[in-house]
Structure 1
Amino acid sequence: MCGFAHVETWVFDLDNTLYPHHANLWEQVDNRITTWIAAYFGVDGLTARALQKHYYKQHGTSLRGLMIDEGIAPDQFLDFAHDIDHSPLAPDPSLGLALAALPGRKLIFTSGSRRHAEAVTRRLGCEAQFEDVFDIVAADFVPKPAAATYERFLKRHGVDPRKAAMFEDLSRNLEVPHALGMETVLVVPRGSRQVEREDWELCGRGEAHVDHVTDDLPAFLTDLPAKFLGR
């Protein structure tokens, strides 16, 4: 089904999805993870960066790789990684209004922490629009795109995937939702704005598991009633 008239639950990734890629908020988290890895292994920044990206690409998060290979406890890592300056994010009234107009439930599904998600939505001014946050702790530290994590999310929140839509900035994280019957939307960087992303993170917009692509989430959501909801 290509459209949103059937959607009862709206599921949003957090970083680079609810806010524009060019805010580069995730760059701060990324840099703090590099700092943590450098200190943990006693290596230089370049070596730490290489380790970090290896873990991230192979396991979905650097944290998951460190838990598997090093047996680290996740709490202090998450607190350190997400201790960032959220001030680059400005309140986005258009996003709040667009979310409020969507019929049904709104949920955040992130491989980050609840604390970080709440800080981001407060800064954007849309925290009241979300029923709950499913974070990496709720996922038992198994990040997207693991199929078991999507199943865990659906069960925890009682979501029928055939009546849900998923918004994500990574194409690979939409493969499982699409297979489960969710309408999928890939959120990409706006125009020629400079963003701190790897090439593989920005690919996949033409894949079959991507139903829609947008570089402006508030505008896309604002247009939904007229274009897709039959209103």
Structure 2
Amino acid sequence: MTALDDLPSEGRHAHAYDLRAFQGVEAWVFDLDNTLYPAETDLFSQINDRIADYIARLLGVGKDEASAKQKDFYRRHGTTLRGLMIEHNIDPDDFLAHVHDIDYSPVKPDPALGQAIASLPGRKFIFTNGDRAHAERTAAALGVTDHFEDIFDIVAAGLMPKPNKETYDLFLARTGVSPARAAMFEDLTRNLLVPHRLGMRTVLVVPSGTREVFREDWELEGQDAPHVDFVTDNLTGFLRAVLGSIELPIG
């Protein structure tokens, strides 16, 4: 296949394939944080601070040391929660309630995104390493709740986070999604490796402001990796371009 010419509404992008690769997709799977809402919303920085606060209280350390431990857990275990469960046997419900006790007012309704998601053919899911309550509050603030069939959260995954293959297997078993007819949208390249191997179309969402949120250099690597089929910094524009390529009206 050949790459498409730039589409003005689509944002900066790098395609390994023509957008017509999305023809036949029947399931659209979206990560939540820094994917469905723009990174500059800065919602995740609140979560980041709450996680550091939890670690500081749990281990009796200062904020700087807590932040360092947080990043270490996250890198080695996929989520800080997983690291704390393995190494400190914490109560996951207590952790999730604490870190998601945040202010959602920075998340604004996004009717254009909602319309684009609603116009996609087939089923739509949120697949997050956060918990359902957080996803529900975020989706409600965005105004996109009604466009999703279900939310697959860290609890449904048995507290095993992406990018572990078992987590994707559980998602597929629960939803009945066929990977060959699915597309996955993520803001982390490592979380797209398994979906690509399973046969999904993979889209990396890298909005402006990414480096201003909780990001390490290793998280931003691999935008040109073979398991990343598409890259965009404008999710709404990208979805509109996909809809145009598969010849479906928006709204």
TM-score, structure 1 length as denominator?
Answer: 0.96
Aligned to 2:132: 114
Aligned to 2:212: 195
After superposition, residues 73-112 of structure 1 pair within 5 angstroms as 73-112=91-130
Stretches of structure 2 that go unaligned for 5 or more consecutive residues are: 2-16
Q: Distance in 2 between matches of 1:28 and 1:204?
A: 26
Q: Distance in 1 between matches of 2:103 and 2:22?
A: 35
Task: State the SS of the aligned residue for 2:125.
Answer: strand
Aligned to 2:88: 70
1:29–1:81: 8 Å Cα contact kept in structure 2?
A: yes
Aligned to 1:183: 201
Q: Distance in 1 between matches of 2:210 and 2:137?
A: 24
After superposition, residues 37-52 of structure 1 pair within 5 angstroms as 37-52=55-70
Distance 1:193 1:211, change over 3 A: closer
Deviation at 1:189, TM superposition (A): 2.1
Letter in 2 for 1:165: A
Task: State the SS of the aligned residue for 2:212.
Answer: coil
1:5–1:230: 8 Å Cα contact kept in structure 2?
A: no
Aligned to 1:144: 162
After superposition, residues 219-230 of structure 1 pair within 5 angstroms as 219-227=237-245, 229-230=246-247
Letter in 2 for 1:31: D
1:167 and 2:185 aligned: yes
Aligned to 2:25: 7
Q: Distance in 1 between matches of 2:77 and 2:162?
A: 9
Q: Distance in 2 between matches of 1:129 and 1:223?
A: 19
Moved over 3 A (4+): none
1:55–1:65: 8 Å Cα contact kept in structure 2?
A: yes
The superposition leaves residues 153-190 of structure 1 with CA deviations (integer Å, 9 ceiling, x where unpaired) of 00010010000000000000000000000000000022
Letter in 2 for 1:71: N
Q: Distance in 2 between matches of 1:168 and 1:178?
A: 12
Task: State the SS of the aligned residue for 2:203.
Answer: strand
Deviation at 1:201, TM superposition (A): 1.9
Letter in 2 for 1:195: E
Q: Distance in 2 between matches of 1:204 and 1:86?
A: 31
1:186–1:212: 8 Å Cα contact kept in structure 2?
A: yes
Deviation at 1:195, TM superposition (A): 2.1
Task: State the SS of the aligned residue for 1:80.
Answer: helix
TM-score, structure 2 length as denominator?
Answer: 0.89
Aligned to 1:31: 49
1:215 and 2:233 aligned: yes
Identity value in percent: 56
Query: Higher relative contact order at CA 8 Å, sep ≥6: structure 1 or structure 2?
Result: 2
Task: State the SS of the aligned residue for 1:10.
Answer: strand
Aligned to 2:224: 206
Distance 1:11 1:71, change over 3 A: same
1:17 and 2:41 aligned: no
Q: Distance in 2 between matches of 1:201 and 1:216?
A: 19
